A and B are shown apart, each in its own frame.
Chain A
Amino acid sequence: MSQDFRLDNVGMVNREKKISFKFNGKKYFGFEGDTIASALIANGVHLVGRSFKYHRPRGFFGVGVDEPYAILQLDRNNERDPNIRATEQEIFEGLEVKSVNCWPSVNFDIGAINNFLKMFFPAGFYYKTFMWPPSFWYKIYEPFIRMAAGFGEASIKHDKERYEHKYEYCDLLITGSGPSGLASAYAAAKNGARVILAEDKPRFGGSLLTSDVNIGNQTGVEWTEKIIAELKSMPNVTVKNRSQVFGYYDHNMLVMSERISDHLPKTQKYLPKQRLWYIRANEVLISSGSIERPLVFGNNDTPGVMLSSAAKEYMKVYGVLVGKKPLIFTNNDSGYETAIEFKKNGVNPIILDTRSDPSSDIIAEAKNLNIEIKFSHVVVAAKGYKKVKSADIAKISDDKKKLFNIENIECDCICVSGFWTPSIHLASQSGNKSKFNEKIDAFVPDKSKQQENTIGSANGIFTLEETIKDAFDKGFDVSNKITEKNNKISVPTIVEKKSTDHDKFWCVPLPKGKSYKRFLDFQNDVAVSDIELALREGFRSIEHVKRYTTLGMATDQGKTSNLNGLQLVSDIENKVVPQVGHTTFRPPYTPVSIGAIVGREVGKHSKPTRKSPMHSWHEKNNAVFVDAGVWLRPRYYKQGNEGLFEASKREAKNVRQNVGVCDVTTLGKIDVKGPDAAEFLNRVYTNAWLKLPVGKARYGVMLREDGIVMDDGTTTRISENHYHMTTTTAQAANVLSHLEYYLQLVWPELNVNVVSTTEQWAGAAIAGPNSRKLLMKLFPNLDVSNEGLPFMGYKEADLFGVPAKIYRISFSGELAYEINVESDNGYFMWEKIMEVGKEFQIQPYGTEALSTLRIEMGHVAGSELDGRTIPYDASLEGLVSKKKDFIGKRSLNRSAFTSTDREKLVGVVPIDKTTSIPEGSYIVKDPKAKLPNPKLGHVSASCWSVEYDNPFSLAIIKDGKNMIGQKLFAMSPLKNKTIPVEIVSSHYVDPEGKRVRS
C-alpha cells in the first residue's frame, strides 16, 4: 500500500530512510521518525482496535501520551510487549504490532455484539451483570470477560532485556521541553544551576514544533534547536528525550523512565532497554503542558474523530494528513490553526464554531484564506462505522439547548477542539491542592506543597509571550536561590497571533428521538448516559462516580475524559466544577513497564547470590545446592545414582563412623571488642559470661525483649577484650542490628564495638570419631589432645603456612572442630582437609546430613527457634541465669511463659519404625476425634536416624516434659497420613553428651 496520505516535503521525518513494518500481519511502509500512528495514518489505516466494553471500532484520537484508543501489542526481538501506544512507539525496520481486545480480528470482532447488547452494559455493569448465580462466575463469566477484554497479553516468558536504575541529583528538574521548559532550563542553566531537562517525546520543543510563532526572529523549531544545542554543550545540564517523569514522591524525589532502546529493532550491546531514574531535585519546574479537551457529540468515538491539535501535529511533524475532507469542530481558536494548516497543504476544511460571532487574528487569517466557517454550528453525530463517512451537523440556539436545520455533510475526519486542560498530574502528586480557574474551565496547581512550581500551559498560561517571560523568571528565581550567581539573561521578543475567548459549551444535546452514544471516556467506554444513570442511582461523590462507571480509570488515566466528566456531573447536579472537585491523581502518569520498575533486582532472591570460597570445589564434586538465606550451600554431594535420601544418609553415617567435613562459612560472625565486652555479652545472652576465660568458647542464647528466643551460637574469648561471636546464617544481619541498638541507644556507657566479620572467614567443620586424628595431621605442631584442646577450647595455629583458628565446638554431637581461615585461604584449607583426611575416610557432608545429625542429637535450630518459642519450649532453660538480668528476662515471668504445661521439645519415633513423619504434622491423642481435633503440638523437624536406622523427629508439644513414653498420633492432613508414634526424649543419640567431650 502506498502512503496516500503523506504530504510532500512537509514534516520532520527522515524521507531518506524508508522503513517497513507489519500491522496485523500486513506490511506497510513509513519513514524513520514516524510513530506507528503516523505511519498507519499515512497509509490510510484508521481502524486499529476495538473498545473495551462494546468492542466498537477504534482509531486514533491523539498524538501522544493522552491516546486512549490506539493501544497495540508489539513483538520485538522475540519479546512481547503489551499496552504500547501507537502514538508514542516509533517504527523500526521489521517492527510487528497487532490489535488487541478483538477476536478473531479487528475487522470482524465477535465482541462487537456487545454493542447491540448495550442495555446489558450500563454503568456499574461489573457490579450488576455478572453477579448471579455465583457459580457462574468462575466457569462462565470470568473466562468470557478474560477472552473478550483486555489490552494485550503479557508474555509468560522470562524477559531477557536488561533494565537499569539510576540515582541522580540536581538543582532543578524540568519536566517537559515545550516553550516554558526550554526557557526555564536555559535561564537556570545560564545562572549556573545543575539542570535536568526531560522530554517524553523523541523531539524537543513541545508546542513549538507545531505553532506558527516567532521567537527572537526565529521560528519555534529554530529556536528550540538552538536552545537544545546550547544546553547540551553545557556541563551543568543533562538533556534527555524519550524520558517521561511519571511520578512525584516525597521529599522531591521524582521518577523518570527513559526509553533507551524501544525505538530500535534490538537493544544494543552494553545498553539497557529502559532506564529508571530516581531523581532527587532541589527544585522542580513542571512544564508538562496541556492536553486538548474533546467536544462531546453523538458517536464521537468513530475512527476519524480526533483532537484538532493531533491532526495539526500529524501534518506538521510527520507530514501526514488525517483526512482529505476535514471537518473542524471547535469552541475556541485552536481549531482554526488546524484548519489553516490543512488549507496551506491544499485541503479544504470546514470549520464549525460553537461561538456565534468571535473575532481574532487567527479567525481573520482563516477568513482571508477563504476557509468555510459556520458559526453557531455543532456536530450532532458522526456517521460511519469503521471510519467517519459524514456528519450530521446543526445550527445551535444561543442558549445551546436547541438544534436547528440538521443536515448531513460529507467528511472523512472530524477534528475537535474543546479548549485545553493543563496537565497538573505531577503537581497534584506532589501534594499540591489544585484550584479551579474559571477563565479556562480547568484546574491549575495552587500553592506549592513541595519544592515545585508549575509553568507554561500546565499552569493555565496559554499565550507564548507570557509563558516564556514567566518561565525565564521562574528559571532564574529558583536557580538563584541555589547558585546566587545573579546571572539573568534577557527575554527574546515574541511574535504570535492573538486569540480570543473560548466558548464554555462542550456537550451537544441529543436531537429529538435519537439515542446516540456520546462518549466521555474513550478507553473505558463511559458515555454521558452512564454518568447520568450513576447519578440517578444515587452516587454523588466524584470518587464514587468514578469507580462505579470506571470513568478515567483506564490506562490513559482519563487524560482526555476527566474534565468533561466533572463538567457533566456539575451540570446535572446544578453545581460548579470546583464544588464537585476532582479525583486524585496518582503515579504513574503514563504506564511504566514492570521490567523498568524491577531493574536489576531479578533472579533468585532479587539479589546477588552469595557463595563461599569453597563453592567451586563443591560444584566440581557434584554438590546439589540449597538456598540458605541469600547463600547457596551444598545440600548433599551426589554419588552415582543417589538421591537426597541415600546421599544424606551416607554422609551422616560417615560422620558418626569416621569423619566428615562441612562448609560452615555462611554462619554469621561478629567481632565484639572493648573493655566492657564481657559485661555486654552478659546482658545480651541468657547465661553467664563474666567468667569465661581467654581461649574458651561458650554456647549462648539471646532473647528479644518479649522473651522469645532470637538466636543462638557460640562465642569465643579470643583475648581479654576481644570476642568472636557466631550467629545462625539466617539471623546474622538482625543480630548485628540488635547489638548496635543496645550499644548505641540503651547502654552507650559500655565501651564496646561490634563489626560483622562473616565474609572475612571461611569455615570448615570437621566432625566424627576420626576428627582428632585428622587434626593432628593438619596441625602436627599443636597439642590437640583432650587436655591440650578440650571441648569448647580455642587455639590459633598454622595450617601449612596459613594462619588458622581452631574452635572445638560441635553441632553434630560428635567430637568436632571448626577451622577458620581468612576467606582467601578457604579453598586451600578445604583441599588440605580432603587430602589429609583421605586416610581417615573423610567425606564432605551437606546441610541435609547436618540436619540429620543435629536432629537426632536434639539440638535446636531455626525450625524450633521459630519466633514463637521461649527458652523453656526449646529445652534451653538450663542456659537461663537466675542470678543476673539480661535482655528479655523480665518477659519470662509473664504468666503464660511460666505455665507448667507449656509446649516443650520432645522426640518422636513412629511405632512401626519405618514410616517417616512429615514435618509440620500435628501431634494428637485421638486421630478419630471430632474436628477440629485438639492438637498437642507440631513436628518441627524430621530425619532418618543414622544411629538407629529408623525415622526420628523433633516436636514441640503441650506438657512435653510429662509426655515421654506416651503413645500418640502424628497427623498430616496435607499428606493425608496418620502415624502412630511414641514420644521419647529429644536427646535420641548420646544423651549424656560423652562424644563431644571424648
Chain B
Amino acid sequence: MLYINCPHCGLRSQNEFAYGGDATVKRPELNKEISDQEWDNFVYLRKSPRGKHLELWHHISGCRQWIKVERDTSTHEIFKTYKANEAIE
C-alpha cells in the first residue's frame, strides 16, 4: 500500500485516496474551437509510461483535495507531491 504525502495532511496510506489519472492532461478552454483530434486526445488518449508519471490523487477520505503525485509506475517510488494549483518543478 502506497504511502502518499498529502501536501495538506501529511503522510497518509493509499486507502484514503482515489486515483485520478494523468495530471498533465489539460482541459481545453471553454468556448474554444478545437478539432475532433484535439478533443479526442483530451478525452481518451493517455500515455501509460513505465517510470516517472505525474498523476492525480483525490484525498477522498481526508481533506478532499485533489493533489498531484510524481510516482514511478514500475517501482512505486514517490518523488514529490504537489497541491492542485502548485507549479510543477
**Interface residues, chain A, CB within 8 Å of chain B?**
167, 249-253, 278, 280, 431, 683, 705-706, 737, 740-741, 744-746, 748, 884-885, 890-891, 893-894
**Interface residues, chain B, CB within 8 Å of chain A?**
1-3, 13, 18, 20, 27-28, 30-31, 34, 36, 39, 42-44, 56, 58, 60, 64-66, 75-76, 78, 84-85
Query: A167: which of B13, B56, B76 is its contact (CB, 8 Å)?
Result: B13
The number of residue pairs between A and B whose CB atoms lie closer than 8 Å in the complex comes to 57
- Enumerate chain A residues within 8 angstroms of B64, measured Cβ to Cβ: 740
Instruction: Tell me the nearest residue of chain A to B32, going by C-beta.
Output: A885
Given contacts A744-B85, A890-B34, 5 further A-B contacts (CB under 8 A): A167-B13, A250-B76, A737-B18, A744-B66, A748-B85
Given known A706-B43, A748-B85, contact A250–B2 (CB-CB < 8 A): yes
- Can you list 28 A-B pairs, Cβ within 8 angstroms, ordered by A? A167-B13, A249-B1, A250-B1, A251-B2, A251-B3, A251-B76, A251-B78, A252-B3, A253-B13, A278-B13, A280-B3, A280-B13, A705-B42, A706-B43, A706-B44, A737-B60, A740-B58, A740-B65, A741-B58, A744-B66, A744-B85, A745-B56, A745-B85, A748-B84, A885-B30, A890-B34, A891-B43, A893-B36
CA gap between A250 and B74 in the complex, in Å: 11
CA gap between A249 and B76 in the complex, in Å: 11
> Which of A249, A431, A744, A891 gathers most chain B CB within 10 Å?
A744
B76 touches A737 (CB 8 A): no
Report whether over half of chain B's contact residues are helix, strand or loop; otherwise say mixed. loop
Instruction: Tell me the nearest residue of chain B to A894, going by C-beta.
Output: B36
- Enumerate chain A residues within 8 angstroms of B84, measured Cβ to Cβ: 744-745, 748
CA gap between A893 and B36 in the complex, in Å: 9
Measured between C-beta atoms, what is the minimum distance from A689 to chain B in Å?
14
> Which of B20, B28, B65, B84 gathers most chain A CB within 10 Å?
B84
Measured between C-beta atoms, what is the minimum distance from B10 to chain A in Å?
12
Measured between C-beta atoms, what is the minimum distance from B69 to chain A in Å?
12
B43 touches A253 (CB 8 A): no
Query: A253: which of B3, B28, B66 is its contact (CB, 8 Å)?
Result: B3
Query: B39: which of A252, A741, A885, A890 is its contact (CB, 8 Å)?
Result: A890
Measured between C-beta atoms, what is the minimum distance from B26 to chain A in Å?
9
CA gap between A890 and B43 in the complex, in Å: 10
Measured between C-beta atoms, what is the minimum distance from B7 to chain A in Å?
12
A740 touches B43 (CB 8 A): no
Ranked 10 nearest A-B pairs via Cβ:
A251-B3, A885-B30, A744-B84, A885-B31, A744-B66, A250-B76, A253-B1, A890-B39, A748-B85, A746-B27
B56 touches A705 (CB 8 A): no
- Enumerate chain B residues within 8 angstroms of A748, measured Cβ to Cβ: 84-85
Measured between C-beta atoms, what is the minimum distance from B49 to chain A in Å?
18
Measured between C-beta atoms, what is the minimum distance from B27 to chain A in Å?
5
- Enumerate chain A residues within 8 angstroms of B56, measured Cβ to Cβ: 745
A278 touches B1 (CB 8 A): yes
Instruction: Tell me the nearest residue of chain B to A888, going by C-beta.
Output: B43
Query: B66: which of A250, A280, A745, A894 is its contact (CB, 8 Å)?
Result: A745
A251 touches B1 (CB 8 A): yes
CA gap between A802 and B13 in the complex, in Å: 42
Instruction: Tell me the nearest residue of chain A to B44, going by C-beta.
Output: A706
B42 touches A741 (CB 8 A): no
Given known A253-B3, A746-B27, contact A737–B43 (CB-CB < 8 A): no
CA gap between A939 and B58 in the complex, in Å: 37
CA gap between A253 and B34 in the complex, in Å: 46
